[in-house]
Amino acid sequence: MDRSSSTDLKLFGTSGIRGRLGRGITPDLAYRMGLSLGTYLGNRGRVLVGCDLRPQSEPLYKQVVEGILDSGINALLASRVATPMLLHAEVELKADSAVMVTGSHTVPGVTGLLFFKSDGGESDIDMELSLEKIYFKRLYSIQTNRATSESVDAAAIYIERILHHVGDKVKGYTIAFDAGNGSMSLMASKVLGLAGARVIAINDRPDGTFPNRSPYPRRETLGKLAETVRKRRADFGVGTDGDGDRAIFVDDSGRVLLGDVSGALLADHTLQQRFGSVVAPLNSSNLIRFVCRKRNAPLVVTKVGPPAIVSSIRKVRNAVFGLEETGKYIWPETLLYGDSVYSASRMCELLSSGSGSLKLLVSELPKYYMEKKMVRCGDVKKQSVMQIVIRKSRLEFPNARISTEDGVKVVFEDESWVLLRPSGTESYFRCYAESSSRKRAKELSAAGMKILRTSLKEFSMTRR
């Protein structure tokens, strides 16, 4: 089963379960999801559990651990870690599953639960449906013999494993790294420094209230990083999110790159080293398609979100690279998840094999213009609004190819496209539009946003 059945899910979104503490996600939910996971695993085995730095993640962390223990599953306690740190430790320790309590890139105040399979990749649709069935039908039970817990030094495991994978890739490079006061604070600069890089650390003090910038790394929030790269003449910069998996790059001129641009370069370099399939979601730029055509490599297109990407990587023979336009890059032989530190090392490797200038490498790519906008939409409205959006899109673009696999994607004869879909992690409807013409991209974006706004208005009118 693929994520086309995700409309049956009541708790899980595009990536895990998310919400504000006490509204949508509660300590009781975390406890019962711990029990549900233990039941799913057959009430035996070991689960590694960690949490990010957000104050509201702590009570959920404690309760999911309690639920796991009461289900008869032994808990390995990683405490406060970045998500890639937890997953490297999970693979190393051969745990049966892992749970990460994190709000990831979302605004302060939001947190969530991410569930992982034993291979270090995020839960698939089958696992999520099973967990929800156990949760809602209360098929779990508290075991007579409570399991045991032990602390795990996930940081030490991460350092050892990542240094092994990084090798001498970063040696001699100057990297400006903006951890955003998130869970990669201190760790990223330490590991890259140990590997031989000169690191200029920005927002490197751990603080789950994110006092200096949003935990969502993007052009609007990485101004300080861009300025630092220019002034300190770094080879490039990296901005990561609250739990350390995303890597948004800044080139040597101080320009913040879209995740698809960096992803196209990394995909191209990976395919030069090893031929195979590239896995990317349907909101990815045509740059990815260009690279795959150039290298005669298969491109596997998935629904949006890490679970869908990883599910395809598991199924596709010889997948060598996966990416998400948010800055998540996956090399399956290393980890089935994004890791900002490892992504930085692969960028160094790319630079060492080419011109040495990220700006120059970007200039050699064909130019596509992407517009990304959003409009607020409450979660309970999304499914009904989506039906209106589909209808209006078909009326607005009668001669285009339209797919409703994940939201509604409209593709035109010149390969320009617009995608309208509800966010699976936040209370928004998103509009993506791309074209080789800046003017056309803006026009498509405007048309898409008009459809979203009129659909929301129509929904509101029917509820009066």
Which residues does the annotation mark as catalytic?
104
Q: How long, in residues, is the chain? A: 464
For residue 170, give the nearest of 193, 188, 200 by alpha carbon. Answer: 193
Distance CA 332, CA 328 (A): 12
Distance CA 327, CA 263 (A): 8
Cβ-contact 308, 57 below 8 angstroms: no
Distance CA 43, CA 53 (A): 29
CA 212 to chain centre: 22
Cβ-contact 356, 347 below 8 angstroms: no
Q: Which residue is associated with the tokens 């630092």?
A: 228
3-state SS, one letter per residue, for 124-182: CHHHHHHHHHHHHCCCCCCCCCCCCEEECCHHHHHHHHHHHHHCCCCCCCEEEEECCCC
For 138, phi then psi, to 5°, come to 50, 50
Cβ-contact 180, 105 below 8 angstroms: no
Q: Enter the tokens of residue 273.
A: 């080293």
The DSSP secondary-structure symbol of 122 reads: B
Distance CA 437, CA 361 (A): 21
355: left (phi over 0), alpha (psi -120 to 50) or beta: alpha
Can you list the alpha helix ranges (DSSP code H) found in 6-73? 27-40, 57-70
Which H or E element spans position 455? helix 438-462
Distance CA 422, CA 383 (A): 8
Within 10 Å of residue 389's Cβ, how many Cβ atoms? 27
All residues at 6 or more sequence positions from 397 whose CB lies less than 8 Å from its CB, including other chains? 410, 412
Distance CA 1, CA 13 (A): 16
Q: Enter the tokens of residue 321.
A: 């690279």
